[in-house]
Amino acid sequence: MTGLVLAPRGTFEARVDLTGALPGDEGLAKLKIGYGGRRAELGELFEVSGTVDGRLTIEGGGAELDRVGAGLSAGEIVVKGDVGVGVGLRASGGTIVVKGSAGDFAASELSGGKVAIAGDVGARLGAAGDGSKRGMSGGVVVVGGSAGARAGERMRGGVILIDGDAAENAASDLIAGTLAIAGKLGRNAGRGMKRGTLFLRSAEGLASGFRDAGEHDLIMLRVLVRRSQELAAFLGEDAGKARRYAGDLNIGGKGEALIVIR
């Protein structure tokens, strides 16, 4: 194992706010972090080992670990387990790999880099945080499991791929960007969508403001699958034709839901 390694000293009795625990920080053990209602040194909760080389591994993980990789701009964080809320919050670069599941607000307001979560995520994946107007604006998020409600809410850029299902109100008020969902949609997907693209397997679950615009041979698909490994894996390397649903027409939106024809 190389890079810095955080190993929990025991079970956590309160939520742990890992804001500021980033791969390039030499003084990580002395970093003051939130632990329940108080501040604690990170070294009090985790055994810190290894050397600074741009990588940070969190052994074990846990649903109490909030804001892992928040504000990350470079380097790599690997969590060998679950994380709590706000993984990758407002990160602008680097890579975060979560080998378990994540809580709400994963990749919220992400502007660059990549977040890969092997399991499920909670509500508001890539969405705007409370009090914010806009969600994720760039970067790539890959979810191996399913997503909770309001995935991609008010996102305005970047790419989110969900291998599993997406609960109700996915892509609600989506401003721009790309959200791909391989599984089933909850109700009301794309409600209030202004622009942007949804890649879906079926139109079932789309909000009422979407209208069928027919089947098309889209050159754009050929470009996307050649420029994005993630989209190539999702859409298929030979993607070309898709059925296009325009919406949300109820608000004059110019977004689209594309169902790639295989």
Q: How far is the CB of 205 from other proteins (least distance, A)?
A: 22
229: its two tokens: 């490994």
- The residue among 122 and 196 lying less far from other proteins, judged by its C-beta, is 196
Q: How far is the CB of 200 from other proteins (least distance, A)?
A: 16
Cβ atoms 143, 162 nearer than 8 A: yes
- The residue among 194 and 201 lying less far from other proteins, judged by its C-beta, is 194
- The residue among 47 and 215 lying less far from other proteins, judged by its C-beta, is 215
Q: How far is the CB of 234 from other proteins (least distance, A)?
A: 12
Q: How far is the CB of 220 from other proteins (least distance, A)?
A: 5
Residues that bind other proteins (CB under 8 A): 138, 157-159, 176-178, 195, 197, 216-220, 222-224, 226-228, 231, 254, 256
- The residue among 5 and 179 lying less far from other proteins, judged by its C-beta, is 179
Beta bridge partners of 38: 35
- The residue among 31 and 242 lying less far from other proteins, judged by its C-beta, is 242
Q: How far is the CB of 147 from other proteins (least distance, A)?
A: 20
